[in-house]
Amino acid sequence: MLTTTLSFENIHAHGELFGNYFRQRKQSFISLKRWALPEALGMEYDQYDTPASRWVVVHDEFGRVLAGNRLTPTTARCGLYSYMIRDAQRGLIDSIPFDLLYDEAPVSDHIWESSRLFVSHDVPAGIRRKVHAILIAEIGKTSRRLGAATCLTLLAATWPRWAPRVHVDMTAMGPVMEIDGEDCQVVSMDFSRQLN
């Protein structure tokens, strides 16, 4: 298994990996979860896929995407949009409740947002945990490289069960809420102890 962090600066060096990542997002979020998201050319995307973001990808040597995640700085701005969690709190995203955080959404050079995390549905059950752990570890490495001490993420409220397995300190930043029939919660992933 390989990991690559894609950016608009390096996508030319990775062949079809960038497109494969967005095609796998379509498979994961539109085809399987039936989320109403934008798509074009068989790829899922949204307003947060900008040059400010990075995309962490776990893949094989042939470019087959096993897992992925998007990182966006909380300082990002694109028109009226900033980052997904903050924009939901500001009432700009209908599908996510505005009261998803206990406090005001942070804006800081040292905090990034982690979103669109997935493990491909065709990853065998026997290696899913390993793929997930590799993805989380690479999110941590990339975040630290970008100067982030923490990442905010909206994920399934089952995170307390698996957080110790991936060796990341996580803290609830908002209440558990139902989104698309799934209990979800905003969580802070703390990478500050690994910044050295």
Euclidean distance between CA atoms 42 and 25, whole angstroms: 10
Q: Could you give the angle at the alpha carbon of 87 between the alpha carbons of 161 and 37, nearest 5°? A: 75
What phi and psi, each to the nearest 5 degrees, are found at residue 25? -60, -40
What phi and psi, each to the nearest 5 degrees, are found at residue 98? -70, -20
Domain extent at residue 27? 2-194
Dihedral of the alpha carbons of 150, 51, 179, 142, in degrees to the nearest 10 = -30
pTM metric for this prediction: 0.93
Q: Dmax of the chain from CA atoms? A: 44
CATH number assigned to the domain comprising residue 80: 3.40.630.30
164 — pLDDT class (breaks 50, 70, 90): confident
Q: Does the pLDDT at position 194 exceed 80?
A: no
Q: Report the domain count for the chain.
A: 1
Model confidence pLDDT, tens digit, residues 4-62? 999 999 999 998 999 999 999 999 999 998 888 999 999 999 999 999 999 999 999 99
Average pLDDT over the chain reads 94
List CB contacts of 122: < 8 A, sequence separation 6 or more: none
Instruction: Give alpha helix (H) positions in the chain.
Output: 17-25, 84-89, 125-145, 159-162
Euclidean distance between CA atoms 185 and 41, whole angstroms: 31
pLDDT of residue 27: 95
Q: Does the pLDDT at position 103 exceed 70?
A: yes
Strand-pair partners of 169: 190
What is the dihedral sign for C-alpha 150, 154, 160, 161?
negative
What phi and psi, each to the nearest 5 degrees, are found at residue 31? -70, -45
Q: CB neighbours (10 Å) of residue 192? A: 12
pLDDT of residue 196: 44
